[in-house]
Structure 1
Amino acid sequence: MASVRVCGIDDLEENQAARFVVDGVAIAVVKDAAGDIFAIGDTCTHGDISLAEGFVEDDTLECWAHGSKFSLHTGKPLTLPAYEPVPVYRVELVDGGVHIDPAVTLTV
């Protein structure tokens, strides 16, 4: 599957996460304060909680339910109770749009 346009770059609010479902895969997309855009798996590995409802701080996305923080770069949990990483997806910016291929995950 090729990458899919999920939204426009300008549709994303700074330091906020937005949830998109691409080909059945839930993905949290974040634009940080520097304008960089990240895409990680939307489901916390500690519980079945949407990370897009959480809090963006620096280069992390924090689960609102139990406080686990996940790196936007690697998907690795930086705080307990989560100990399993979430997938990280490659983001392509094309003609003002944010494109993601849910079949392609990045390994760091």
Structure 2
Amino acid sequence: MAWHVVAKAEEVGEGQVRAASAAQTMLALYKIDGTYYATSNICTHAVALLSDGYLDGDCIECPVHAALFHVPTGEARSEPATEPLQTFPVKVEGEMLMVEIAE
């Protein structure tokens, strides 16, 4: 496991989702109630970028088939998705967001 700089913290606003990548992993970054999160950016149901989806509270809705995922846990909350999203630990160092990814 290694920590990777993925964005400046200020680039992910409250209630927003932003695409990023590190270590050949496509990520979606979120800021919800002041806490940063990172998940895989690819829906587990169909190939779609969750960063193009709609963030509703602490859930992200896939832009293709409206599958809903709980951002903090990755849990699939509605069909057609049944598989959870991969989640990644996030920390802030200075101004930078860092995500821990297996290498």
- Give the TM-score band, short-chain normalised: over 0.9
TM-score of the superposed pair, with normalisation by structure 2: 0.93
Matched with 1:21 is: 21
The percentage of aligned residue pairs carrying the same residue is: 26
Q: What RMSD in Å do the two structures reach over aligned CA positions? A: 1.3
Give, in whole Å, the separation in 2 of the partners of 1:75 and 1:99.
18
SS at match of 1:10: helix
**How much has 1:103 moved relative to structure 2?**
1.4
Matched with 1:37 is: 36
Runs of 4+ more than 4 Å apart: none
**How much has 1:18 moved relative to structure 2?**
0.8
TM-score of the superposed pair, with normalisation by structure 1: 0.89
CA offset digits 1:46-97 (Å, max 9, x no partner): 1010111101111111101111111111101101000001100000111121
**How much has 1:28 moved relative to structure 2?**
0.3
Q: Is there any run of 5+ residues in structure 2 with no aligned partner, and where? A: none
Aligned pairs, how many? 103
